[in-house]
Amino acid sequence: MFDNTLSSIQSVMVHYVGNRLKEDPLQLSIQPSGMDANTEKQLWNYLYSAFKTPEFYRFTHPAELELNNVFSICRSVFGDNKTFEERSAALAKLLYEHSQHPNIKSGELFVVHFTKLTFGSVTADAIGLFKSEKKQPFFFTEEQEGIIDLFSYSGISPFKVDKACLIFNEEEEDGYQVLAVDNLNKGDEAKFWFDDFLKITPRSTEYQKTSSLLSLTKNFIEKDLEGERPLEREDSIDLLNRSLDYFKESEAFDYDDFNQKVFQDDEAIDRFKAYTEENDRNNMQLNESFNIAPEAVKKKSRIFKSVLKLDKNFHVYIHGNRQMIEKGTDDGGRKYYKLFYEEEN
């Protein structure tokens, strides 16, 4: 997704942001970090490993966008590059102010200024924020007087990013084009980075719509639809397979066509429509047509499980026709599945 052919790293500031609640320190650099060619190469690797999918966000604020502090700081840097060093410290101070939960880990904050950075269809100057919280052990050797000694130390792996954010100087009036990841925390624990510090919300892109609808469909089938009228596991798997197949085989999403091909039952269709409206919290208009993003389908397909687990004896993978499997109970009370097939491979 990245192309740095015309890109360059203008400056890197490294600050140490502790946990304020635990009275850990905030240490601010007074000048940019020096880099040799190999260090710069590893920094590019660090960037590449952070963002792999076009999940774009934008800065928000309930009152006015200008009141979003990270947005305002980045806007001042884009307006005058000479303020980068000073404003990078402001970002570190802001992060420190929000680091007041016992689970928030201390670590280094890299603030990087890029020029003409390209990610997918977006090309613009950018500001990168990378917070390293988990150190990796490394070995190194040293030769002295014919003896090679082995040492170890803890450092930052250029291939394992903990938290990261990349702000492109594009669509300023709509909160910029923003990429963000938190590879250490999920669910509510990730809110510190996304909601408390950055204050970002997903953009309504083809990728986000595809990803959101796949997640909503899976949750609906496994939780909402089963809650009132419990489904047999093979029926649930059949619905999951049909919904995933629709996204894999179609170039564009049509809401009514999807409902008819997947759920087929009017009552289930009505419930799914209500469920979609209720859970479209980012106002992505998920009931409208859009082009399906294959990258999102590939990523989300991992959470669609088509495995029927029977005690600890068997795992049955169901990939196709629901009519080829029957469930029953024998005279002795033992449960069984009957499988029909035409060829044995």
Sequence-distant (6+) residues with CB within 8 A of 269 are: 259, 260, 263
Q: Which pLDDT band holds residue 29 (cuts at 50, 70, 90)? A: very high
Other CB atoms within a 10 A radius of the CB of residue 248 amount to: 12
- Domain hosting 187: range is 2-203
| 264 shares a domain with 156 | no
pLDDT at 131 over 90: yes
| 262 shares a domain with 220 | yes
Contact 166, 50 (CB under 8 A): yes
pLDDT of res. 168: 98
Mean of the pLDDT values across residues 78-98? 96
pLDDT of res. 207: 92
| 218 shares a domain with 182 | no
Q: Is 257 part of a structural domain of the chain?
A: yes
Q: Is 278 part of a structural domain of the chain?
A: yes
pLDDT of res. 75: 97
Looking at mean pLDDT, say which of 65-74, 222-231, 240-249, 333-342 comes out highest. Answer: 65-74
Q: Is 56 part of a structural domain of the chain?
A: yes
| 65 shares a domain with 173 | yes
DSSP state of 101: S
pLDDT of res. 319: 65
Q: Is 344 part of a structural domain of the chain?
A: no
Mean of the pLDDT values across residues 292-298? 92
Sequence-distant (6+) residues with CB within 8 A of 258 are: 243, 246
Looking at mean pLDDT, say which of 95-104, 105-114, 274-283, 312-321 comes out highest. Answer: 105-114
Lookup: tokens for 236: 């649930």
Mean of the pLDDT values across residues 258-272? 89
Q: Is 88 part of a structural domain of the chain?
A: yes
| 42 shares a domain with 134 | yes
| 3-class state of residue 318 by DSSP | coil
| Angstrom distance (rounded) from CA 319 to CA 302 | 14
Q: Is 49 part of a structural domain of the chain?
A: yes
Domain end, chosen from 142, 168, 203, is at 203
pLDDT at 342 over 80: no
Q: Is 345 part of a structural domain of the chain?
A: no
| Angstrom distance (rounded) from CA 54 to CA 51 | 8
Other CB atoms within a 10 A radius of the CB of residue 34 amount to: 7
| 134 shares a domain with 94 | yes
Which residues is 126 bridged to in the sheet? 114, 168
Domain end, chosen from 203, 238, 271, is at 203
| 258 shares a domain with 188 | no
| 162 shares a domain with 264 | no
| Angstrom distance (rounded) from CA 221 to CA 272 | 9
Q: Which pLDDT band holds residue 229 (cuts at 50, 70, 90)? A: low
Residues 165-210: tens digit of each pLDDT: 999 999 999 999 999 999 988 776 668 999 999 999 999 899 999 9
Number of folded domains in the chain? 2
| 3-class state of residue 26 by DSSP | strand
Contact 272, 259 (CB under 8 A): yes
Q: Is 116 part of a structural domain of the chain?
A: yes
pLDDT of res. 137: 86
pLDDT at 237 over 90: no
Looking at mean pLDDT, say which of 33-37, 127-131, 341-345 comes out highest. Answer: 127-131
pLDDT at 318 over 70: no
| 226 shares a domain with 197 | no
Helical (H) or strand (E) element with 98:
helix 84-98
| 57 shares a domain with 35 | yes
Mean of the pLDDT values across residues 127-133? 95
Q: Which pLDDT band holds residue 258 (cuts at 50, 70, 90)? A: very high
Contact 177, 122 (CB under 8 A): yes
Q: Give percent of the chain above pLDDT 70.
A: 92
pLDDT of res. 47: 93
pLDDT at 220 over 80: yes
Phi then psi dihedrals of residue 270, to 5 deg: -65, -40
Q: Please give, one letter per residue, the 3-state secondary structure of 109-134.
A: EEEEEEEEEEECCEEEEEEEEEEECC
pLDDT at 306 over 70: no
| 171 shares a domain with 283 | no
Other CB atoms within a 10 A radius of the CB of residue 95 amount to: 25
| 254 shares a domain with 185 | no
Phi then psi dihedrals of residue 143, to 5 deg: -100, 130
Which residues is 307 bridged to in the sheet? 317
pLDDT of res. 146: 87
Domain end, chosen from 203, 222, 253, is at 203
pLDDT at 234 over 80: no
Residues 139-165: tens digit of each pLDDT: 888 888 889 999 888 888 888 899 999
pLDDT of res. 307: 67
Averaged confidence pLDDT in the chain: 88
pLDDT of res. 46: 92
